Amino acid sequence: MTEPREDGPDAPGRRSPRPLVLVALFTAFVLSVVGMTAGTYLVFDRTMGKDDAKGGAGRQVNVFLCVKSSDPAKCGQGAATDLQKDAIRKRLQSMPKVRSVVYLSQDQAWADFKRKFADDKDLIGSVRPQDIPDSFQARVEDGGAAKAVKAAMTGVPGVEAVVLDRPA
């Protein structure tokens, strides 16, 4: 006579593989989002030095400020302070070839994020308003000026990231 085995899928103490599959799917999703973000950044960054044949179109530099959930290596003390924001604005406005500087509050950035991704309710549901940084949008004369602003603003206290962008 044989004894019943307790190593089947319903055996006591045996864990379902479903949580591992869910973790793997979530990890793949996060990595794909990070990859798309990095790819987009690289495309924008590499095209910045190429001015339009018409010229004079200008470029935009987005200076994203630190928020509470920012990387501690870049934003050790947390969110950018009002003094840091003021210093960042003044520094941008004093740079040669900067045509204009516009501040986008965290509330404005959140509204813009929701508008841009209105069709992706899951994405909107996974991001908290406090995770979207406020920023300064600096319009500069050309790709060379954009690169100079990026270099000057990277590492400034209160700044988490500087991203070069083409005008809309």
The Cα 54–Cα 90 span in angstroms is 30
Q: Residue 56: inside a domain, yes or no? A: yes
Q: What mean pLDDT, rounded, does the chain reach?
A: 78
Domain of residue 108: give its range.
48-165
Q: What mean pLDDT do residues 29-44 have?
A: 46
Q: Residue 14: inside a domain, yes or no? A: no
CATH number of the domain where residue 95 is located: 3.30.70.3040
- Give residue 19's pLDDT: 55
- HSE-up of 69 (CA within 13 Å, CB side)? 8
Q: Looking at the 3D structure of the chain, how many domains does it have? A: 1
Q: Residue 148: inside a domain, yes or no? A: yes
Residue 137 φ/ψ region, left for φ over 0, alpha for ψ in the -120 to 50 degree band, beta for the rest: beta
The pLDDT tens digits for 75-116 are 987 899 999 999 999 999 999 999 999 999 999 999 999 999
DSSP H helices in the chain: 18-47, 82-93, 106-116, 121-126, 143-153
